[in-house]
Amino acid sequence: MEKSFVMVKPDGVQRELVGEIIGRFEKKGVKVIGLKLMVISEELARKHYAVHEGKSFFEELIKFITSGPVVAMVMEGEGVIGVIRKMVGATKPGDADPGTIRGDFVLDAGQNIIHASDSKENAEREIDLFFAKEEIIEYSLAVRPWIYSLP
Ligand code: UDP
């Protein structure tokens, strides 16, 4: 099963949207297999967002993402990387459709309450950056047969 790295950013925690966000994924049938409240170090922030280094918003982004606790998660399910990105919505506030997390709660391109991996390669890299192997719990949910027709 596919895995994605998802994070409620400091603004999402401060706005008390953690339950709302996790609830949307739970209702979809996405399984949370790793979860922790943490403050990101500057070193980890720079690694996580390395692809944006040198861009005009990079230093602001590092300041923002290290400014308070975040909720870091590993989520699992069939095709979850794409499904979660759709549920998160576009980065540009005007492009995020209503019904998506950003479409419903975000008006800013930087403070956009949630991060989610955009590819398999990045999901693996981000999960490795944020989670030790033993922090990811493989378990089965009793509801599974009602979510998947697959065996
Ligand atoms: N960001 C920003 N200004 C921009 C573009 C991005 O502050 O013009 C921040 C924003 O927090 C975004 C993050 O940088 O979520 C990573 O950007 P990316 O393009 O990867 O967007 P995402 O994958 O989060 O939608």
Mean pLDDT across the stretch 50-71? Answer: 98
Q: Tell me which residue has its CA closest to atom 18 in ligand 1.
A: 91
CA of 146 to the centre of ligand 1 (A): 35
Please determine, for residue 150, whether its predicted confidence score (pLDDT) is greater than 80: no
Average pLDDT score, the chain: 97
Q: Tell me which residue has its CA closest to atom 10 in ligand 1.
A: 110
Q: State the total domains in the chain.
A: 1
Is 52 a domain residue? yes
Does residue 27 contact residue 146 with C-beta atoms inside 8 Å? no
The residues, ordered by sequence, that sit 6+ positions from 7 with a Cβ below 8 Å of its Cβ are 70, 71, 72, 73, 114, 115, 116, 130
Domain that holds residue 76: 2-137
Q: What is the pLDDT of residues 123-148, one digit of tens each?
A: 999 999 999 999 999 999 999 999 99
Q: What is the CATH number of the domain that holds 36?
A: 3.30.70.141
Mean pLDDT across the stretch 29-54? Answer: 98
Its pTM surpasses 0.90: yes
The residues, ordered by sequence, that sit 6+ positions from 148 with a Cβ below 8 Å of its Cβ are 29, 78
How many CB atoms are closer than 10 A to CB 134?
6
Does residue 87 contact residue 29 with C-beta atoms inside 8 Å? no
Is 144 a domain residue? no
Strand partners, 32: 75
Q: How far apart are CA 17 and CA 38, in angstroms?
A: 16
Does residue 114 contact residue 21 with C-beta atoms inside 8 Å? yes
Q: Is the Cβ atom of 45 under 6 angstroms away from ligand 1?
A: no
Q: Is the Cβ atom of 118 under 6 angstroms away from ligand 1?
A: yes
Q: Is the Cβ atom of 61 under 6 angstroms away from ligand 1?
A: yes
Is 149 a domain residue? no
Please determine, for residue 151, whether its predicted confidence score (pLDDT) is greater than 80: no
CA of 34 to the centre of ligand 1 (A): 23
Is 59 a domain residue? yes
The verdict on whether 52 is a catalytic residue reads no
Is 151 a domain residue? no
Is 6 a domain residue? yes
Return the structure tokens found at 132.
């030790």
Q: What is the pLDDT of residues 72-88, one digit of tens each?
A: 999 999 999 999 999 99
ipTM over the 0.95 cut-off: yes
Mean pLDDT across the stretch 101-106? Answer: 98
Please determine, for residue 29, whether its predicted confidence score (pLDDT) is greater than 90: yes
Is 24 a domain residue? yes
Is 32 a domain residue? yes
